[in-house]
């Protein structure tokens, strides 16, 4: 049921209708909230005790997310005996860690940009198809599955495809085209990007489909009736409306790739240094004496990078949620 704007009340204000109906059930002594904003006023009054309801959740997150995060952040600034130091942090700003950061960022940017662009192209191609037709449904289901398909299975799947014994490798060989001679292996940058795209593109689809759906047909028709060509519509209305969700998706894809561990772990032979892998090796003891907290310092940097990206993403989401809902 489309919520049409009630009599001259600005469309952004107030909670939806149920609040108004609910106020009828309150005892007569309570002052009913004025109009639709009443529900917000009602809850404000009961706030202090109600916060207790969130206590279990807050405690749980504090312990199982907050504590590890806190541990990593503080340990980054400590040396092995527990004294405060900036040594770990400064070490991570130098090679080989610095190099790993750049490589990680490169991989994330490449897979994010390619994933976003290709994903958008696919989404537009699919959205042209009938809404509940086969193509549309197949793609939406598939993207739901593949977006979360990462880690080990993905690595093995690609090994079976383009690995040294892979099926496609063999096909290409029999056609006279040797992959390794042309410099392609699964564990160099090109290979990793190719593999990462396998979950980046579906993730892009998942994020951009609702946005594309949010483009109401009336806008396109109104633009047409006002004399716009298809191109002009996209330039002036469709494009600007899609730009924020597109950017948001790009950010999300970046964070997703940057944080990925399992796939890289399964594929990499060390030739492509990545930050998550480095943290992993530090944790399994592959580190110089006196630098046990390097892993934490690296973790700190990861939090900073990914954290910034997620914040930017959330801000973008807020801004455009209004338009495309």
Partner 1 sequence: MTALISDSPAVQSPATAGPGRTQRRRPRAGRAVLLLLFAAYFFIPLYAAVDFTLGGSRRNMGHTLSVWTGLVHQEGFTTNLMTSLKIAGGTVLLLLVLMVPTMAWLHLRLPHLRRVVEGVCLLPMAIPAVVIANGILGAFKSWPQAITGSSWILILEYVILALPFTYRSLDAGLSAIPLTTMVEAARSLGASWPTTLWRVVVPNIRTSVASAGILGAALALGEFTIANLLLLNTFPIWTDQAGQQDGEVATTASMLILFLSWLLLMLVSQLGRGRAGKKSPKLRRNK
Partner 2 sequence: MSAPSVELVKLSRSFGGVAALDGLDLTVEPGTLTCLLGPSGCGKTTALRIIAGLEHSDGGEVRVAGQDVARIPANKRDMGMVFQSYSLFPNLDARDNVAFGLRMRGWNAAKRRERAGELLELVGLSAHTDKYTHQMSGGQQQRVALARALAIEPRVLLLDEPLSALDAVVRVQLREEIRSLQTRLGITTVFVTHDQEEALSVSDQVAVMRAGRLEQCAAPAEVYAGPATAFVAEFIGTMNRLPGTLSADGQTVEVAGRRLVVRQGGTEAGPRSGGEVTVLIRPEAVRLEPAEDGTATVRQAGFRGPITRITAVLPDGTEVLSDVPSASAAELVPGRAAALVLDDAPVMVA
Site for partner 2 in 11-50 (CB under 8 A): 11-12
* DSSP label of 63: I
Residue 178 interacting partner from partner 1, partner 2, none (CB closer than 5 to 8 Å by kind): none
> Mapping DSSP to helix (H, G, I), strand (E, B) and coil, where does residue 112 land?
helix
In whole angstroms, what separates CA 191 from the centre of its chain? Answer: 21
309 C-beta neighbours (distance < 10 Å), count? 21
Q: How far is the CB of 18 from partner 1 (least distance, A)?
A: 4
Residue 6 burial class via C-beta count within 10 angstroms: exposed 0-12, middle 13-18, buried 19 and up: middle
Binding mask 157-196 for partner 1 (x = CB under 8 A): xxxxxx--xxxx----------------------------
State which residue, 86 or 311, has the beta carbon closest to partner 1.
311
Residue nearer to partner 2 on the CB measure, 238 or 295:
238
Residue 64 contacts which entry, partner 2, partner 1, none (Cβ below 5-8 A, type-dependent)? partner 1
Confirm or reject binding of residue 146 to partner 1 (CB under 8 A): yes
**Calpha distance 58→51 (Å, rounded):** 10
Site residues for partner 2, 194-253, by CB under 8 A, read 216, 218-219, 221-229, 232, 236-237, 240-241
Q: Looking at beta carbons only, is 117 or 324 nearer to partner 2?
A: 324
Q: Where are the alpha helices (DSSP H) in the chain?
A: 18-22, 38-45, 47-50, 55-61, 67-75, 87-92, 97-127, 134-147, 151-162, 167-174, 189-213, 217-225, 230-233, 239-259, 262-267, 275-283, 294-321
Q: Look at residues 304, 300, 260 and name the one whose alpha carbon lies nearest to residue 70.
A: 300
Quick check: 142 binds partner 1 (CB under 8 A)? yes
Is residue 291 within the footprint of partner 1 (CB under 8 A)? no
2 binds partner 1 (CB under 8 A): yes
> Residue 38 Cβ, how far from partner 1 at the closest point, in Å?
11
- Is 52 in a helix, a strand, or coil? helix
Return the one option of partner 2, partner 1, none that residue 183 interacts with (CB less than 5 to 8 A, by type): none
Helix (H, G, I), strand (E, B) or coil at 78: strand
Which partner, partner 2, partner 1, none, binds residue 291 by CB below 5 to 8 Å per kind?
none
Considering only 9, 11, 13, 40, the residue that binds partner 1 (CB under 8 A) is 40
The correct pick among 22, 37, 103, 228 for binding partner 1 (CB under 8 A) is: 22
Give the side-chain half-sphere CA count within 13 A for 70. Answer: 7
Q: Is 50 in the site for partner 1 (CB under 8 A)?
A: yes
Using CA atoms, how far apart are residues 123 and 163, in angstroms rounded to an integer? 29
DSSP type of residue 133: S
Write b or e for each residue in 60-81: b if 16 or more Cβ atoms lie within 10 A of its Cβ, otherwise e. eeeeeeeeeeeebeebbbbbee
Give whichever of 244 and 267 is closer to partner 1, judged by the CB atom: 267
Q: Among residues 37 and 87, whose Cβ is nearest to partner 1?
A: 37
Mask 67-106, x = binds partner 1 (CB under 8 A)?
A: xxxxxx--x-------------------------------
Interaction of residue 231 with partner 1, rule CB under 8 A = no
Shortest distance, CB of residue 26 to partner 2, whole angstroms? Answer: 26
Binding site for partner 2 (CB under 8 A): 2, 4-12, 216, 218-219, 221-229, 232, 236-237, 240-241, 322-324
């Amino acid at each position: 049921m489309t919520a049409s704007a009630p009599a001259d009340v600005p469309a952004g204000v107030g909670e939806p209708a149920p609040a108004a109906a609910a106020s009828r059930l309150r005892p007569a002594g309570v002052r009913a909230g004025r109009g639709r904003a009443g529900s917000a006023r009602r809850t404000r009054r009961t706030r202090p005790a109600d916060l207790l309801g969130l206590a279990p959740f807050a405690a749980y997150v504090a312990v199982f997310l907050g504590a590890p995060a806190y541990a990593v952040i503080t340990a980054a600034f400590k040396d092995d005996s527990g004294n405060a130091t900036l040594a770990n942090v400064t070490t991570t700003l130098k090679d080989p860690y610095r190099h790993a950061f750049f490589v990680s960022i490169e991989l994330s940017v490449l897979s994010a940009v390619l994933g976003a662009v290709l994903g958008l192209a696919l989404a537009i191609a699919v959205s042209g198809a009938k809404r509940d037709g086969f193509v549309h449904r197949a793609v939406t289901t598939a993207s739901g599955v593949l977006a979360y398909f990462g880690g080990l299975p993905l690595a093995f799947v690609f090994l079976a495809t383009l690995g040294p014994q892979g099926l496609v490798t063999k096909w290409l060989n029999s056609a006279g085209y040797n992959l390794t001679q042309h410099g392609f292996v699964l564990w160099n940058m090109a290979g990793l990007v190719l593999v990462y795209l396998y979950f980046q593109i579906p993730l892009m689809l998942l994020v951009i489909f609702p946005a594309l759906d949010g483009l109401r047909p009336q806008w396109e028709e109104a633009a047409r009736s006002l004399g716009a060509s298809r191109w002009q519509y996209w330039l002036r209305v469709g494009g600007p409306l899609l730009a924020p969700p597109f950017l948001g998706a790009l950010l999300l894809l970046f964070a997703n790739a940057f944080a990925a561990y399992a796939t890289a772990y399964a594929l990499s032979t060390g030739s492509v240094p990545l930050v998550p892998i480095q943290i992993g090796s530090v944790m399994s003891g592959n580190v110089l004496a006196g630098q046990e907290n390097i892993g934490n310092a690296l973790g700190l940097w990861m939090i900073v990078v990914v954290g910034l990206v997620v914040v930017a993403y959330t801000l973008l989401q807020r801004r455009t949620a209004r338009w495309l809902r």
